[in-house]
Copies of this chain bind each other. A is one copy, B any other.
């Protein structure tokens, strides 16, 4: 039962009493077939449960209509981005091919896997590869880096205005009356430098002196930073990302420091983590919908060789005020 041969174009053509070329046309929704015939063909296809063979299709047409996506399977924010990409891809006629970076499968391997599949373009989420190797890759196919700036003219970039985002966080806290505002940074993580810069600039703008603690992008790095904070706590802190922020939150609550009563906190990403009712984190939202849609349209534009003006697309972030910020005690 299992190895019945799948129906092919020829089967459908026979059943509908037309040529396979015509069936091909109809299946692709191209003009050149009469209404009645079209109906008959679709009916036959439906009855046989015909599904076009993507391999044959690609082989002949030289196109795969496949966009490769490389993401970190452990990153909640990447999960949000992938979700957005799927949604954005829905109406484009392109499919997504996912390839995950895991603990023992690095980015190079993830990319190599996609290359075999003959993707037409690559969308990399917060890629860690060197600019040089991304550049080399972009010689083979269009490459879009999502959520990480890349200094090379061959690589498109879609990212949020991270400096501006940090600025929003600081403005919000300063507006509440905070003056001792620390920043737990993301080290070498994608976007970290930019956010640090935005923090510094905003502090300067408000005439405040900043204080930067080394952090990272994971919960445990946040927890470590929080412990360092305990000795001499500020009244407010902006954190590199939500994941790191939850680590900070956890250590604070274990040490009896009430948030936001004793300490206000702003995260970054508005990942699904921050939205959880019991975390309820004030955070800087990256506009995932716009970012993913932009990344997708850009990739497709490159594939179709459309003229492009600006290589970098910068999406403005916005502040989402929830329960972890309040005026200082």
Q: Which residues of A contact B (CB under 8 A)?
A: 1-2, 51-56, 58-59, 64, 73-74, 76, 79, 82-83, 86-87, 95, 97-100, 102-105, 113, 115-118, 139-142, 218-220, 223, 247, 250-251, 253-254, 256, 272, 276-279
Report B-chain residues with C-beta under 8 Å of the C-beta of A87: 102, 104-105
Report B-chain residues with C-beta under 8 Å of the C-beta of A278: 219-220, 223, 247, 250-251, 254
How far is it, in angstroms, between the C-alpha of A105 and the C-alpha of B96 when the chains are bound? 13
How far is it, in angstroms, between the C-alpha of A2 and the C-alpha of B141 when the chains are bound? 6
Beta-carbon contact of B254 and A74 below 8 Å: no
State how many angstroms separate the Cβ of A231 from the closest Cβ of chain B: 17
How far is it, in angstroms, between the C-alpha of A256 and the C-alpha of B220 when the chains are bound? 21
Report B-chain residues with C-beta under 8 Å of the C-beta of A103: 83
Q: What are the 4 closest A-B residue pairs judged by CB atoms, nearest first?
A: A223-B278, A83-B102, A98-B98, A55-B55
Beta-carbon contact of B220 and A276 below 8 Å: yes
In-complex Cβ contact of A73 among B58, B82, B251 (8 A): B82
Report B-chain residues with C-beta under 8 Å of the C-beta of A279: 219, 250
- A102-B82 contact given A59-B53, A59-B59, A253-B254, CB 8 Å threshold: yes
A sample of 10 more A-B contacts (CB under 8 A), given A1-B139, A247-B276, is: A2-B142, A53-B59, A55-B64, A73-B83, A83-B103, A86-B100, A87-B102, A87-B104, A218-B276, A220-B278
- A118-B55 contact given A98-B98, A102-B82, A140-B2, CB 8 Å threshold: yes
Beta-carbon contact of A98 and B100 below 8 Å: yes
Beta-carbon contact of B223 and A277 below 8 Å: yes
- A59-B51 contact given A2-B141, A279-B250, CB 8 Å threshold: no
How far is it, in angstroms, between the C-alpha of A140 and the C-alpha of B82 when the chains are bound? 28
How far is it, in angstroms, between the C-alpha of A118 and the C-alpha of B51 when the chains are bound? 10
- A86-B105 contact given A220-B278, A253-B253, A278-B251, CB 8 Å threshold: yes
Beta-carbon contact of A250 and B251 below 8 Å: no
Beta-carbon contact of A250 and B247 below 8 Å: no
How far is it, in angstroms, between the C-alpha of A253 and the C-alpha of B220 when the chains are bound? 17
State how many angstroms separate the Cβ of A278 from the closest Cβ of chain B: 4
In-complex Cβ contact of A100 among B2, B82, B115 (8 A): B82
Can you report 21 A-B residue pairs in the complex whose CB atoms are below 8 A from each other? Answer: A2-B142, A51-B115, A53-B118, A55-B55, A55-B56, A55-B59, A55-B118, A56-B59, A74-B272, A83-B100, A83-B103, A86-B102, A87-B102, A87-B104, A87-B105, A98-B99, A223-B276, A250-B278, A253-B253, A253-B254, A256-B256
Residue from A55, A76, A83, A97 with most neighbouring chain B CB atoms (10 Å): A55
In-complex Cβ contact of A220 among B64, B113, B141, B277 (8 A): B277
State how many angstroms separate the Cβ of A132 from the closest Cβ of chain B: 17
